[in-house]
Amino acid sequence: MSLKKAYENYFRIGTSISRKNLENPNALEELQKHYNSITCENTMKPMFFLDEEANVANPGKYNTNPALRFEIAKPFLNVARDNGIAMRGHTLVWHNQTGDWFFKENYSKEEDAPLASREVMLARMENYIKGVLEFVQTEYPGVIYAWDVVNEAVEETHTDGWRDSLWLKTIGKDFVVQAFRFARKYADKDVKLFYNDYNAFWPEKMKYIIQNILEPLCKEGIVDGMGMQTHLVRDESNLEDYEKAVETYGAMGLEIHATEIDIHVTDPGEEGMQVLADMYRRIFEIYTNACKSGKAKVTAVVFWGMKDDESWLTNFRKERSYPLLFGDNWEEKDAYHAVMEVAGK
Ligand code: GLA
């Protein structure tokens, strides 16, 4: 039995992958066995597709139409295509992992260089989105089924909710709507467009996302789904709020993707791994119940990493984390069995 088989009547099961996974035959085998969706953990972020050297060297030529390069993504797209695994595109517009120079007049790398105008940034945004979508759709038709068009535009701690980013500073609050318009203009018809954010189940943040991001996009009919990243933390994440959020976004008629699941747990012993299994059981019940009751169309559930020792959390939190279904040696953890039980397997 495998995860994707167990959940074939519900939703796609996905994982993020990194370069390390591509070079490891075990990873490839696990990929083929368990998953029918993959997301590049890093490779499709703007800092990799933007050809910094070319743009900075020749700002006159590339001022509104940035030079792009795609070689780095090809091994991932090849794996997806060759194994019949669909891919989530992640991510077109983000404040992070996008060089500051991209937002500056003449692509300047001077720290105090002025920001480019709204008009120039709108053109850069449009041509970036166009270039990326045309590349994948021409060379890998049908491989990418959904895009995170905008990632993390809302910051719950910020007084007025909008994250203080260079996108916001240069274009203004409509940068989100503009990005989705461009994405809809250039994406193939059946490609689904998502807004993606972390802690999207925190009641205040959810309210803000709905009012400021999703409702305007829904009104124009240019968004298909809500990406709930789902980086959860033991003893902190409130799964009742999480369930309500799945249903609330679902009630807006949006598809739901859980796009980046992991659960930060630092205790690899019996107790910690039991808590992990219980939390995984609960969130998978939330997904399957939403599908059964029709309260939300959950269509993809994606883990952020294939096994514990490769998770970003250990570096980010500076505490070794055991957040996934598979242990360091690919062993199936209690959490794996809990997830299989929810599917009746
Ligand atoms: C965010 C981003 C991901 C990744 C994680 C950390 O959630 O959306 O692409 O960078 O942070 O790994």
Type of residue found at 62:
Y
Residue 157 binned pLDDT confidence (cut-offs 50, 70, 90): low
Distance 207 CA to ligand 1 centre (A): 22
Residue nearest to atom 3 of ligand 1 (CA): 41
Closest by alpha carbon to 302, among 94, 99, 85? 85
Q: In this structure, what token pair is assigned to residue 17? A: 């992958």
If one counts every other C-beta atom within 10 angstroms of the C-beta of residue 276, the result is: 26
Distance 292 CA to ligand 1 centre (A): 30
Q: In this structure, what token pair is assigned to residue 183? A: 């994405």
Distance 5 CA to ligand 1 centre (A): 27
Range 56-85 burial, b when 16+ CB lie within 10 A, else e: beebeebbeebbbebeebeebbebbbeeeb
Residue 91 binned pLDDT confidence (cut-offs 50, 70, 90): very high
Query: Count of residues for the chain?
Result: 345
Rounded to the nearest angstrom, the gap between the alpha carbon of residue 294 and the centroid of all alpha carbons in its chain is 24
> In this predicted model, what pLDDT tens digit does every residue of 160-193 receive, in sequence order?
799 999 999 999 999 999 999 999 999 999 999 9
Residue nearest to atom 6 of ligand 1 (CA): 312
In terms of pTM, does the model score above 0.95? yes
Phi, psi for 53 (deg, rounded to 5): -60, -50
Distance CA 174, CA 212 (A): 10
Mean pLDDT is lowest, of 47-51, 193-197, 203-207, for 203-207
260 lines ligand 1 (CB under 6 A): yes
The answer to whether the CB of 192 falls within 8 A of the CB of 146 is: yes
Atom of ligand 1 nearest to the CA of 151: 8
The answer to whether the CB of 256 falls within 8 A of the CB of 226 is: yes
Atom of ligand 1 nearest to the CA of 198: 7
